[in-house]
Structure 1
Amino acid sequence: MRRVSAQWASTITTTHTIVTDVVSYLGESERLATVPITAGQIVYDATARGQRRCQITVPLIDGGTRWDPGSDPRHPLASYGQRLRIRTGVRHPDGTAELLEHGQYLVNEVTVDETEGTVNVTGADLYALMEQCRITENTLSFLPTGDSYLLSTLRLTYARLNVDDTRILNAGWTDEVDDRRTLSAPVETPEGADRTPILDSLCAAWPAQMYVRDDGLLVFDQAITGPAATPVARIQAGTTGTLVTRGRRAARQRVYNAVYATGINPDTGAVRARGSAVKTTGPLNVRGPYGWVSRWYTSPFLTTTAQANATARTLLARGTLYARTEEITAAPDPALQLNDTVDVVSPGGGTFRGLISSITLPLTAAGGPMALSVTNDTPE
């Protein structure tokens, strides 16, 4: 949950004004203009590589300024590296506004409707910068010859995405976190290759999660495998609550109850480690009516049985999170973020504790309530 003032909780549960500030930058730091919006939303999805995207509607002409970028590469809404920094929040009863950082978005697409007098802009997660920057060459002198990097150590830390760097990782490391794991294996880097699957493989073997946080940094953080013991918020029905509607969804497609992890020698293909994890209790028990639904994972980074078992356990925990999902709408609360643990409470449905896996957050009052997906393994 984002850090908020002591006033926040009481304001969210009473009638209040939504306040949003959108500023356009060229690159990371060149401020271009404050952008007026008439509508908009941010969509978060914990299962996507780029976990956030935005859509805003801007008046075509506002105060004498024309917001159609046309062919001007330096226009605030052009798609030549322009970024939208979005802050949104509430106005408290005392008149003060409290705005929370909701990230930076690469201007991805702009459509102009002169009849309606609007400009519609979609913005992509900064993760797109790395997805689109494919590997071009291997020229670092300390690397072995050939077409692969040998990563003997990887730091669980942060990396900037604006560094002009064609290597496998867009570097610019800091020492905010220094949690080292030995992952000895060559990483293939042929020309034209996408670097993101390599990072996905590293994160699965670590295990870690990778995402771009609100300040635009790429984060390698501890993997989330289940709700925390204490929720950060209680979304409930009633006159003092924020819950509007609540429903449930369940599906087999994203749920598996057995994982087999194999470590291979990348040079010979020989197996050098095996690990597994299975659900043996509860409704997802592999020997119960649900059946045996397996996932197989192979990586050159798994060199020991202990590593393979640890990876299998992490993947199994992720695979069972989606056994039960609550789809809810509630009064917008910009303090909530992906993977927050919350309690959903209503008289008919009781209490359900889970992780927020998706958020659709309106940026104006006309956008109505926010939509949340809260998910967790079915109780034993």
Structure 2
Amino acid sequence: MSTEALAVVQGSHTMQIRAEAWLDGELLAADIPVSGGSEERDRSLAVPESVRLTMPRRDRGTSWEPVEPTHPLASFGQLLRIDYGVDIAGHTEWINRGWFLIVDADTGGDTVTVQADGLLTFIDEAKFSAPFQPASGDTLASVARDLVEPALTVVVDSLVDRAVPQGMQWDTDRLGALREVVNAWPADMRVTEDGYLLLEPLVETGDPVLNLTDGVGGTVIRWQGRTSRDGAFNVVVAQGEDGSGSQIQGVAYDRSPSSPFRVSGPFSPLPVPYPYYSPLLTNVAQCRAAAETTLQRLRRSASRMLTVTMVPHPGLLTGDFITVTGAGLTGALAVIETMSLPYSPGEMSLTVRVLDG
């Protein structure tokens, strides 16, 4: 986003949505008349992104009811590219929100409603028709590409590749196999706005992209009204096998001073372990790294959460770091875990995980 757009979206602004429909690399419709909808993102889901659009059944002499397989809104491989427009002194700056696969379109009365999900849907749907076994000489990166391409192009950034042990096999779940590769690397994965699958190191801190203050710039910060011990762990034990078939393991302890589940804290006088096993782990160093990364992922659901209601900000994505002042916090670092961005005038909501403060 430009500096001008960033300044505009932190207060009330005029917005519009641009949606294009594509099929097999061909543009089917460049200006779908979106009248409303929303975009949802949740990092805890296998397919984190989804959008829901509404549009008139007929507009300017064009029917938007998907009655044919090649219609722009049919669900036979049609992709939507979504851009969020911000009015800046009479011109529109467009912020790309990404690509989404149409999974359902329904006509009711004079309205068409379209559901489109993130591109990992391709991988989630493509169960194995026969057991998948890596070939001799395969690495984590080559296996990830074999699992995903040509549905998505895999980009590996700042990760150290390594060989995959022989004898690995996955029977049915392609996306589950990909997640096992990513977890054992260890790495994080996300689909970029340009439609690539990016594999990169998992980070637990970073520079904030936005400072949120309660009551300023159209924000309201509330504590999330739920707490539970379910799924809370303070130790991760990652196990694998070395070349001789002997069991090996690495352990990671939650020692963060800000974590309510920290070892030796009030949560429990004893360690509460979470077991993780993968045959992709072949030495102790790999086990320790996988344990640390798994512990970071567990914190996503077991940490203190805030619910933020604010003026829509189309530059934000899940995984972005922000600072929060409000709800008893002052400049606390947090990371966005879920978000709901309206595609018509309304409020945006975030769930953010507090990292300190």
* Same fold? TM cut 0.5: yes
Q: Is the 8 A contact 2:56 2:111 kept in 1?
A: yes
State the one-letter code of the partner of 1:246: R
* Residues 1:243 and 2:219 are matched in the alignment: yes
CA distance in 1, matches of 2:327, 2:48: 33
1:286 deviates by 2.9
RMSD between aligned alpha carbons? 2.6
Q: Structure 2: which amino acid aligns with 1:135?
A: F
Secondary structure of the corresponding residue to residue 168 of structure 1: helix
In the aligned structure 2, how far is the partner of 1:307 from the partner of 1:176? 18
Q: Deviations over 1:285-329 (max 9, x none)?
A: 333331233210011111111111111112112222431011111
Contact 2:140 2:185 in 1 (8 A): no
Query: How many residues are treated as equivalent by the alignment?
Result: 349
Counterpart among 100, 103, 107 of residue 105 in structure 1: 100
Work out the percentage of aligned pairs sharing the same amino acid.
27
Contact 1:184 1:301 in 2 (8 A): yes
Matched, 1:308 2:308: no
In the alignment, does 2:185 pair up with 1:199?
no
Q: Name 1:375's counterpart in structure 2.
A: 353
Q: CA deviation at 1:28?
A: 3.6
Q: Quote the offset at 1:41 in angstroms.
A: 0.5
What do the CA deviations read for 1:120-164 (whole angstroms, capped 9, x no partner)? Answer: 1100111111111223358xxxxxxx95544642339996xxxxx
Q: CA shift at 1:376, angstroms?
A: 3.1
Q: Which of 62, 66, 84 does residue 63 from structure 2 map onto?
A: 66
SS in 2 for 1:187: coil
Counterpart code for 2:238: A
SS in 2 for 1:184: coil
| Maintained 8 Å contact 1:148/1:189 | no
Length-normalised TM-score, structure 2: 0.89
Residue from 115, 125, 131 that aligns with 2:118: 125
* Residues 55 and 300 (structure 1), Cα distance of their counterparts in 2 relative to 1, 3 Å cut: same
Q: How far is the alpha carbon of 1:80 from its aligned partner?
A: 1.0
Q: 1:347 and 1:378, CA in 2 relative to 1: closer, same or farther beyond 3 A? A: closer
8 Å Cα contact 2:232/2:261 also seen in 1: no
Query: Kindly tell me: are residues 251 and 120 of structure 1, through their superposed partners in 2, closer, same or farther at Cα, counting changes over 3 Å?
Result: same
The 3 A distance-change label for structure 1 pair 13 and 156 is: farther
1:275 maps to 2:250: yes
Are the counterparts in 1 of residues 155 and 196 from structure 2 also a CA contact under 8 Å? no
In 1, Cα distance between the equivalents of 2:256 and 2:208?
25
Residue 32 of structure 2 corresponds to: 35
For residue 313 of structure 2, the aligned residue among 333, 353, 376 is 333
SS, match of residue 155 in structure 1: helix
Seen in structure 2, the aligned counterparts of structure 1 residues 280 and 341 have a Cα distance that, compared at 3 Å, is closer
Contact 1:276 1:312 (8 Å CA) reproduced: yes
Give unmatched runs, 5+ long, in structure 2.
none
- How many angstroms apart in 2 are the aligned matches of 1:255 and 1:329? 27
Q: For residue 168 of structure 2, give the secondary structure of its aligned residue in structure 1.
A: strand
Equivalent position to 1:187, from 141, 159, 168: 168
Mapping of 1:102-181 within 5 angstroms? Answer: 102-114=97-109, 117-137=110-130, 147-150=133-136, 152-155=138-141, 167-171=146-150, 177=157, 179-181=159-161
Quick check: 1:26–1:32 contact (8 Å CA) kept in 2?
A: no
How far apart are residue 281 of structure 1 and its match? 6.0
- Distance, in Å, in 2 between the alignment partners of 1:343 and 1:189 is 41
SS in 1 for 2:129: coil
The answer as to whether partners of 2:154 and 2:197 remain within 8 angstroms in 1 is no
Report the CA distance between 1:221 and its aligned residue. Answer: 1.5
Partner of 2:238: 261
Checking the alignment, whether the CA contact within 8 Å between 2:20 and 2:81 is kept in structure 1 is yes
Comparing 7-16 with 331-340, which one deviates more in the overlay?
A: 7-16
Correspondence for 2:331: 351
| TM norm structure 1 | 0.84
Structure 1 residue 175, shift from structure 2 partner: 7.2
SS at match of 1:327: strand
- For the structure 1 residues 221 and 281, does the alpha-carbon distance in structure 2 shift closer, same or farther, using more than 3 Å as the test? closer
Query: AA paired with 1:52?
Result: E
Amino acid at match of 1:100: I
Is contact 1:87-1:100 (8 Å) kept? yes
* Residue 4 (structure 2) aligns with: 7
Cα deviation code 1:234-285 (max 9, x no counterpart) = 122345x23134223443234321100101269x9x4332110112464423
Partner AA of 1:182 in structure 2:
R
CA positional deviation for 1:352: 2.8
| Matching of residue 215 in structure 1 with residue 194 in structure 2 | yes
Deviation at residue 88 of structure 1 after TM alignment: 0.4
Return the offset for 1:182: 1.4
The answer (yes or no) to whether the contact 2:159–2:201 under 8 Å persists in 1 is: no
